[in-house]
Structure 1
Amino acid sequence: MKVPMLDLSEQYQSLRSEVLEVLDEVMSSSRFILGDNVKKLEQDVAKYSNVAHGIGCGNGSDAIHIALQALGVSEGDEVITTPFTFFATGGAIARAGATPVYVDIDPVTFNIDPNKIEEAITEKTKAIIPVHLYGQMADMEKIAEIAKKHNLAVVEDAAQAIGAKHNGKTVGELGTAATYSFFPTKNLGAYGDGGMVVTNDDEVAEQSRVIRVHGSKPKYYHHVLGYNSRLDELQAAVLNVKFPHLDHWSELRREKADNYTKLLKEALDDQVATPVEKEGNYHVFHQYTIRVDKRDELQEYLKEQGVATMIYYPLPLHVQPVFKELGYKEGDFPVTEKAAKEALSLPMFPELKLEQQEYVVAKIAEFYGK
């Protein structure tokens, strides 16, 4: 049996006629940039996030950068975040001219450990970026409390967590701003790149809208150094078709996650550490990530058996070559470094079949001699 990490073909076939119809409407309108489809998506995603504003942009990486710039983060500032995340998080901080300051993670959720944030705060600290990794929100209540105490902004990197909740609050409600990615593999994915900033802060929203169009307002009058990062009408049209299905897809992901956990517990007892949904959280399982011994050997074995897996992420940001000037070294964040050696993400998408999951787990058990 072949089990892909992600298969978008079934989803597309179920939406094909509607997608083709809206794409034809965009083509016929000849309005391709910042039109009605973008406005609708911005309004719907903002409402979904329980905030006032949505600002569509070119991708999730730009969304973080735009939010930071809109908050006034610049050269000489420091931004606290996690080293266990995709490069875009640290990259956006550096592109804004600021210095990433890393803090170790919670070993259970893989998210930034709020108990270690305060010791990293200095007079240069301007913001905190918690990353809601794999689809589970970080402890935003504690993080928001720390930020308020020290007068810091909070930008939630929710690239993997649209629809996730923490104690009844959704992404964006407890931060100054939050950012989404609509990369095709995401829970709400476009057919190309796309991203969005969501916020309740009127000034952050206004600045974000200006920054995404070369810093101009009105057109051709430039007051800040912005850049070109706009969500286009074609991608927004596709996302508008998909958006009404998001909650259902999230429930299906949760169902698949439950299946995996039951199957793994039955087959391997506690030999494989399965994901833990913290009390009060609603996990949307962008990834189903286990922790295992002999991770690399297991991945290779599964590949031989036709099972695709991914390692998110094999090299933490603090030891990435591009950040060597920050002075971090291996050993600085032991929880992160251990996770980077043990984490393995299994195939996860709403259309994943039970027999595929059973096959994946059987092959994992086979590898460990169970």
Structure 2
Amino acid sequence: MTNPSKYRVPKYNYADQFPDIDTVTLPALRRILLSGEYVLGPEVERFERSFSDYLGVGHTVGFNSGTDALVLALDALGIGPGDEVVTVANSFHATLQAIVRLGATPVLVDCGEQDFLIDLDQVAAAMTARTKAVIVVHLFGRSVDVSAAAELCRRSGAELIEDCAQATGARFAGVRVGTTSAAGCWSFAPAKNLAAAGDGGAVTSADADTAARLRLLRNFGQSRQNQHELLGYNSRLDALHACLLTEKLDRLDRWNAARVEVAAAYRERLTGLPVSFQAPGAPGEHVYHLFQLRTESQQVRDGLVDHLQSRGIDAVVRYPAPLHLQPAFAPLGGRAGAFPVAEALASQNLCLPIRPDLGANDIDFVCESAAEYFAGVRPAVGSG
């Protein structure tokens, strides 16, 4: 694990997220600590209402992680052994893990060359009579075409689930992601655009029955103390995390807009180098949880990462192996070459630091350092 303090341009700046820490944040946390209401309770209810209002959705149910949000969403929708769930090979481990944990059969498809997102044409081809759900992943902050995905699911009778872990605040066709499907699954882990001070998650849904089942599932299946209606989980959002999330929620759109500006500056400054970028989509569709830079080969990518880190820039590789090639999923029979786009992205992509507070001087330094590397490897595109 990297130590952000050693970097001139780190990935994260948590101090910037708490401008009122002495006057607002710490007094609120003190009040909760002294109240003894640490799990669920009024603070969690307040955040759930606020998040529902922000998104424009009927119900939010808080959990202890984004991973549990996926697991419990599948469970609440009745998905289990014998059911197929289609999702993408280009995602974080938790997307596929949730399907396997429920005993369902994952069916993987590849992603697009330009947007790096689930290929919906391949989803259509992969769906069978046993397909119970499709999980689309709004990866790196960019929204999938939710309308097209919903139409595929409507025609086949499958449930649409959105993995929104990296896309809090993103939209498709002007509508917030996570609001029009059977379930939108969210992570509030510390690295996310909207972050707790530890793990946290939620599921959003327009359906009151789904939300009611999720509330039972997260709390041991209890309708009241010691009255267990079904086999549940212990996956409850903590009040301290909910308090922080509510405080930050008012700043989220401003932070996301700043991320978009940083991404635009990177694109402008890096144009002309032998690199490419994830297609941004229409305005408002991308909130840049991560800024992906694609190189022409793994050798170039690894060299660029090493160079940037040596210059004090916290560049990293996310998902260096796609899901079907992860050892944990070897029993599923994945093989190299099955999903060529996901495999290429895993070997060619790196992430540049992107934060709402990243200033022009830091952006200049990152871009100049990248140009430095390519000047020593090959001429920039269009030169000579």
Is the shorter-chain TM-score for this pair beyond 0.5, marking a shared fold? yes
Is 1:157 the equivalent of 2:163?
A: yes
**Structure 1 residue ranges without an equivalent (≥5):** none
Residues 129-163 of structure 1: CA deviation (Å, up to 9, x unaligned): 00000111111111000000001101100001011
Residues 52-93 of structure 1: CA deviation (Å, up to 9, x unaligned): 100000010000111110000111211111111110100111
Secondary structure at the residue paired with 1:282? coil
Match of 2:285 in 1: 282
Match of 1:326 in 2: 332
Secondary structure at the residue paired with 1:307? coil
CA distance in 2 between counterparts of 1:60 and 1:38 reads 16
Contact 1:11 1:351 in 2 (8 A): no
CA distance in 1 between counterparts of 2:278 and 2:132 reads 32
Secondary structure at the residue paired with 1:348? coil
Residues 243-299 of structure 1: CA deviation (Å, up to 9, x unaligned): 11111111111111111111111xxx1511023212365211111111013111110
CA distance in 2 between counterparts of 1:64 and 1:16 reads 35
Match of 1:335 in 2: 341
CA distance in 2 between counterparts of 1:9 and 1:72 reads 42
Match of 2:154 in 1: 148
Contact 2:180 2:206 in 1 (8 A): no
**Structure 2 residue ranges without an equivalent (≥5):** 1-6
Cα deviation for residue 331 of structure 1 reads 0.3
Cα deviation for residue 11 of structure 1 reads 2.3
Cα deviation for residue 16 of structure 1 reads 4.3
Match of 2:134 in 1: 128
Is 1:95 the equivalent of 2:110?
A: no
Q: Which amino acid aligns with 1:181?
A: S
Contact 1:83 1:318 in 2 (8 A): yes
For residues 191-340 of structure 1, what are the structure 2 equivalents within 5 Å?
191-265=197-271, 269=272, 271-279=274-282, 281-293=284-296, 294-340=300-346
Q: Are residues 284 and 16 of structure 1, via their aligned partners in 2, closer, same or farther at CA, if it must alter by over 3 Å?
A: farther
Contact 2:116 2:278 in 1 (8 A): no
Contact 1:137 1:281 in 2 (8 A): no
Cα deviation for residue 120 of structure 1 reads 0.9
User: With structure 2 as the length reference, what TM-score do the two structures score?
Assistant: 0.93
Percent identity of equivalent pairs: 38
Match of 2:110 among 91, 104, 109: 104
Contact 1:80 1:103 in 2 (8 A): yes
Contact 2:132 2:159 in 1 (8 A): yes
Superposition misfits of 4+ residues, deviation over 3 angstroms: 13-16
CA distance in 1 between counterparts of 2:362 and 2:223 reads 53
CA distance in 2 between counterparts of 1:226 and 1:3 reads 44
Q: How many residues align?
A: 367
Cα deviation for residue 5 of structure 1 reads 1.6
